[in-house]
Structure 1
């Protein structure tokens, strides 16, 4: 079952988490820009994220990485603090100042994808975030 919801978790501060299930991953490179798309439908997703890296020699690697999603209107750069991934989950922690801008601190995606899609996703995450300050916890 594929569904999406916003969950409010309580700690010392209120943390907003976007949580959804994804059965579709698309990783490709277009005009030297690596792109990762994750969503609940390949044609018309209701819940999705897109991560891309457009390298401009005048900006940092972190600034070259953009994040888009169904939960906010435009791309935001230098927003990803940490990524945790295994075969069944992708969890993205958003940097504090960026989280306030888009209204969330965490994205939790339950992955229902084939092994080949997971391997490609794993490699694209390594390629995109290799030189960034983003913390990556990749567990096969």
Structure 2
């Protein structure tokens, strides 16, 4: 299930609400990525990679600290749903959900990436229906639709 939170990005370094979420969800690893032409090596290649429809075997957690962009996710009928993300927004995408990310017209976002345990950056481009995480997600969708 996709989750979202609204936090105060100006105080992310000492935010008790963020710490509470990290503790409850066991988000033990964190880094910050800045996506813009001047800051991200291989910018054009990375932007194309982020926009390629894919899934992960683990949750994807992003907390927008500055700037804005879009996560596109597939709904139960396999249609795209665009989620606008801006400063203060945190999203958790479940393992196995097809998604992609793109910047908006600002061409800039600074985001915190969170993981349970060590970071796993592997993205599996569609089709990737053979993974157990995908099967579990599809089963979850079927149960919630019933």
Same fold (TM over 0.5): no
Q: Which of the five TM-score ranges fits, normalised by the shorter chain?
A: under 0.3
Task: Between the two structures, name the one with larger relative contact order (CA 8 Å, sep ≥ 6).
Answer: 2
**Larger strand proportion of the pair:** 1
| Rg larger in structure | 2
**TM-score between both structures, scaled by the size of structure 1:** 0.25
More helix by share: 2
Structure 2 length normalisation: TM-score? Answer: 0.24
